Structure 1
């Protein structure tokens, strides 16, 4: 599979389907066909519209779309996305609010690198922004990174997080979501051993596989069934000539998307059939529920082969972090060295990706941390997405996280968390 031809074949199939959709929509919308009462033309145009949009979104990075917030004085404050640290494989960005004094809470949100862009956390950022200065790890699509930039594996990822934490300083509160949870824990432990004064004040770990064997899921079962040789043979390809990263070994986003879709094929198939019917009846819109969800879900990014393979081997198969045997640049990262950073874990009772037990294992590894600096929450009825961006996050988990941050901020004047009014975040069109 490690050939440019297979990568380009997938891109050609995607491009062809996008073209077919655009052609069908344009031809079936020809004015003369409006004289016919045959519904086939409306159906064809609707199919083309949905198909074109679907396949076009697969290679487009979504926009953050957060344009402004309403401040305490009731006036609009524009929001700028500013790069604080720029690196080849990912940047640390800040959502800078104009005309607002620095907030007491400074939050670094560690976004997953698991197939989707950091914009998957758009609603999480939007919910935190009225009460915090928010920074986010914005990972780059591996297909756009030249081979000359070198490799990027789990150790490089960890060191990126270390650099980002150092750049923000010790008054930072880190929130990691899903895939980066174990590596964020390792990065904090690395700082505890190498540069204690740069450690963040608190660490909130949400739905991540610190110990994958603590509770079985389809993800962990797959990791046990497949050998590393099989995984490398089936999943890894070289970026084609169309992109700057031509020749780089990656786990392609399109291949990842095929796996995502196959897990719930019947549900996705019905969703698209229903959307075509709505479009044919003139009931679909550019920002309806279907398009808001799938514009984000279909936007996938390539991961470097070394990052994907080392994650499976070292985090899932060998359980190096769960066994406290993780090393970075030849140095053992002792999670027990964390003695000052308050750690909170959050799990969803119905999480089928990182099941309850996998994330709370982090607290057992923090052997040097007093119990007063440990906290755990299991959200009843919540699935994986809900614990960081859904109803459970908005109504229950977010207030708990902000209270935890305030409790361990070291400042007496930290304001109590407030719930922003529903219209307080303005999203740009298309978000």
Structure 2
């Protein structure tokens, strides 16, 4: 599989399916077909429209398309995207609400590098912008990064996070979503050891695999079954000549997308067929609920091969974070060195990607942090995406995270701190056992 031909073949199949969809849409939409009282033509056009859009989105980076933010004086303020730090594999960007005074809350969202673009967190950003200055990590598509820029693995990722936190200063509140949670925890610990004055004010970890073995999912089962040799041979491909990263070894986004879809194949198939019926009946729209979700969900990016392989080998198989044995640039990181950064974990009761128990395991590693600065919350009915981008996030989780930030902003006690806690302890918030048979929230 590690050849350009394999990569080009996948892209050819995607392109061909988009072309077939466009052809079907055109044939079913011929004006002459309107004279034939047969719904087959309308269904053909509808199927073609949904197919063309679906496969076409897989090759495009979504725009942020952020609406203006209403201010307290009743005016709508334009959101401008600024690059704060530019790096080969990812930038630190700021959503600057023009004309607005600096906000007391400053939040850095750590977006996943797991096959989707940072725009997957668009609704998260939109929900936070009225109440905070928001920054986010904008990871680049590996196929667009020349080989001359070098490698990028889990250690490089962690060092990027360290640089981003240092750039924003100690009053920043970090929220890591899913995949980057363990590496964000490690980056914070690295700062605690080497530059404690640069540590963030708070750290919120949402649905991340701190200890993948704490609760089994299809993701962890796959990681346990496959060997690293099998994974490298079957999943890694070399970028073709059509892109700036020609020759770079990557884990293609299309492969990652196929694995995501296979986890809930029936759900996605039903959603697509219902959309075909909606288009045929004239009840669909360009920005309806289905298109808003799948335009983002189907837009995928390639990951550097070394990042993907080192994530599987060191985070999932070796459990280096869970065992507090993670090494960055030759230095063993001790998560117990975090003593004055309040940490909150958030989990979804029906999360079938990072199941309840995986993220809250972070608190067991924070041996130097008082219980009064640890908090955990579980949203019983939320799937993986619901805990950061759905109704559960907006109604329940977001207010709790903002309260957590406000309660701990600027608070820097030592590990010996005593007294009445401002937060409920982890033990108080520990969830009762839940049924984990729920499907992904779509």
**TM bucket, shorter chain:** over 0.9
List per-residue Cα deviations over 1:353-377 (Å, max 9, x = no partner): 1111111111111111122211111
Paired residues in the alignment total: 411
* Aligned residues of 1:203 and 1:341 also touching (Cα < 8 A): yes
Unaligned runs of 5+ residues in structure 2 are 412-442
Aligned residue in 1 for 2:169 = 169
CA distance in structure 2 between the aligned counterparts of 1:390 and 1:281, rounded to whole angstroms? 27
Aligned residue in 2 for 1:123 = 123
Residue 406 of structure 1: how far off its partner (Å): 0.7
CA distance in structure 2 between the aligned counterparts of 1:154 and 1:58, rounded to whole angstroms? 25
Unaligned runs of 5+ residues in structure 1 are 412-431
* 1:194 corresponds to 2:194: yes
Aligned residue in 2 for 1:376 = 376
Residue 30 of structure 1: how far off its partner (Å): 2.0
Aligned residue in 2 for 1:395 = 395
Residue 274 of structure 1: how far off its partner (Å): 1.8
TM-score normalised over the length of structure 2: 0.91
Aligned residue in 1 for 2:320 = 320
Aligned residue in 2 for 1:14 = 14
Residue 40 of structure 1: how far off its partner (Å): 2.2
CA distance in structure 1 between the aligned counterparts of 2:138 and 2:231, rounded to whole angstroms? 26
* 1:333 corresponds to 2:333: yes
* Aligned residues of 1:67 and 1:80 also touching (Cα < 8 A): no
CA distance in structure 2 between the aligned counterparts of 1:346 and 1:32, rounded to whole angstroms? 56
CA distance in structure 2 between the aligned counterparts of 1:115 and 1:5, rounded to whole angstroms? 21
Aligned residue in 2 for 1:423 = none
SS at 1:129 equivalent: helix
Aligned residue in 2 for 1:90 = 90
Aligned residue in 2 for 1:414 = none
List per-residue Cα deviations over 1:76-131 (Å, max 9, x = no partner): 01101111111010011111001100000000000111111111111111111100
RCO (CA 8 Å, sep 6+): is it higher in 1 or 2? 1
Aligned residue in 2 for 1:347 = 347
Pairs within 5 Å for 1:164-313? 164-313=164-313
Aligned residue in 2 for 1:135 = 135
* Aligned residues of 1:20 and 1:52 also touching (Cα < 8 A): yes
SS at 1:67 equivalent: coil
CA distance in structure 2 between the aligned counterparts of 1:82 and 1:57, rounded to whole angstroms? 25
Residue 72 of structure 1: how far off its partner (Å): 1.1
SS at 1:404 equivalent: helix
SS at 1:103 equivalent: coil
Computed over aligned residues only, the root mean square deviation of the Cα atoms, in angstroms, reads: 1.1
Pairs within 5 Å for 1:16-55? 16-55=16-55
List per-residue Cα deviations over 1:12-31 (Å, max 9, x = no partner): 11111111111222232222
CA distance in structure 2 between the aligned counterparts of 1:377 and 1:47, rounded to whole angstroms? 42
List per-residue Cα deviations over 1:299-354 (Å, max 9, x = no partner): 01111110000000000101001111100010011111111111111111222211
